């Protein structure tokens, strides 16, 4: 079993722990990026403002424990996301989007606490047309885990299938459990991760606190929740080869990233990545991704 500790980074008023990619582990199944945001409290009039930026070769999903975010993209979608719902954006050959605090939450002041992940697209689908789907909370399967409430966000696990369509074997589960709950990992996926977002768990005789990512070998595995908390179970089949990641761009071929960098630098609006309606600014190409 591999143990990864997230290192917090201050992003100006709130912190983010980056778990993947890690120098010791680049991916778990198709998951290539895993961030834990917050919890962070914003005073009235303040909020998150991630200006439009590009993606290729991946799908993004944000899972909220608390708070809200407004998604806008170059396909014209505008969708608020709140706890229990899924916004699944597939970048394919290219898309841009923004993420901002919705007006009501910004005016009132609010707390946000979230997990942000990217999953790499299989090689045959890296250059697919971009797409976006929203799945309300009531459409996601609830899983029967003793002592815990679990939601299947994507893929298949414990005999259930989520409505999120993805072209590679995957599972992504949110577990909210009480102290003493005993949870088994799904056995039908080769690569599996457990992220302890809050609380603590006992596994194979060791205690793992909040902020710990465990990458678990195949086979039957169980753990006990020592403290009430939120956990993310995730993984899937190994990806079909390594992936390169630079800034917000993911690809199996470095040349695809170089081409995307050139396109964004040359035409961040109206080019390959389109234009986000309602937005008048964007994040320039960084000097070093």
- The verdict on residue 253 lying in a domain is no
Indicate left, alpha or beta for 180 from its phi (over 0: left) and psi (-120 to 50: alpha): left
Residue 278 lies in a domain: no
Note whether residue 18 is domain-resident.
Answer: yes
pLDDT of residue 37: 94
Residue 259 lies in a domain: no
> Using the 8-state DSSP alphabet, how is residue 164 labeled?
-
pLDDT number for residue 11: 63
User: DSSP of 165-210, one letter per residue?
Assistant: --SS-EEEEEEEE-TT-EEEPPSS-SEEEEEE-SSEEEETTEEEET
Give the domain CATH number at 37: 2.60.120.10
Cis peptide before 39 (omega within 30 of 0): yes
What are 201-205's contacts with CB under 8 Å, separation 24+? 201/225, 201/226, 201/231, 202/226, 203/1, 204/1
Q: How far is CA 134 from CA 12, 152, 280, in A?
A: 29, 15, 24
**Does residue 90 contact residue 56 with C-beta atoms inside 8 Å?**
no
* Within-domain flag for 168: yes
| 229 within domain boundaries | yes
Instruction: Enter the DSSP assignment of 163.
Output: S
- Please identify every stretch of the chain with a pLDDT value under 50, giving residue numbers as ranges: none
Can you give the residue range of the structural domain that contains 119?
Answer: 2-236
pLDDT at 13: 65
For the chain, what is the domain count? 1
Tell whether 246 is covered by a domain.
no
Distance CA 263, CA 253 (A): 16
Q: Is residue 255 part of a domain?
A: no
């Amino acid at each position: 079993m591999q143990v990864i500790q997230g290192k917090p980074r201050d992003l100006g008023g709130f912190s983010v722990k980056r778990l993947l990619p890690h120098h010791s582990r680049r991916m778990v199944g198709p998951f290539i990026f895993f961030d834990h945001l917050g919890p962070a409290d914003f005073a009235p009039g303040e909020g998150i403002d991630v200006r439009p930026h590009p993606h290729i070769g991946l799908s993004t999903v944000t899972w909220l424990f608390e708070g809200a975010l407004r998604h806008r993209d170059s396909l014209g979608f505008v969708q608020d996301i709140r706890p229990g719902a899924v916004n699944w954006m597939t970048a394919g050959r290219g898309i841009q989007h923004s993420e901002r605090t919705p007006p009501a939450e910004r005016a009132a002041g609010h707390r946000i606490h979230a997990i942000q992940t990217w999953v790499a697209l299989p090689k045959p689908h890296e250059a697919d047309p971009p797409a976006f789907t929203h799945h309300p909370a009531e459409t996601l399967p609830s899983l029967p885990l003793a002592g815990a409430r679990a939601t299947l966000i994507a893929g298949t696990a414990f005999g259930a299938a989520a409505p999120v369509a993805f072209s590679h074997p995957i599972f992504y589960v949110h577990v909210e459990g009480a102290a003493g709950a005993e949870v088994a990992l799904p056995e039908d996926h080769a690569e599996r991760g457990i992220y302890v977002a809050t609380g603590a768990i006992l596994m194979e005789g060791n205690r793992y606190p909040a902020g710990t990512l465990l990458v678990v070998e195949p086979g039957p595995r169980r753990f006990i929740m020592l403290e009430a908390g939120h956990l993310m179970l995730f993984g899937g089949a190994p990806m079909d080869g390594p992936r390169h990641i630079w800034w917000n761009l993911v690809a199996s071929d470095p040349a695809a990233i170089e081409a995307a960098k050139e396109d964004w630098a040359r035409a961040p609006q109206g080019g390959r990545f389109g234009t986000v309606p309602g937005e008048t600014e964007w994040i320039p190409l960084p000097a070093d991704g």
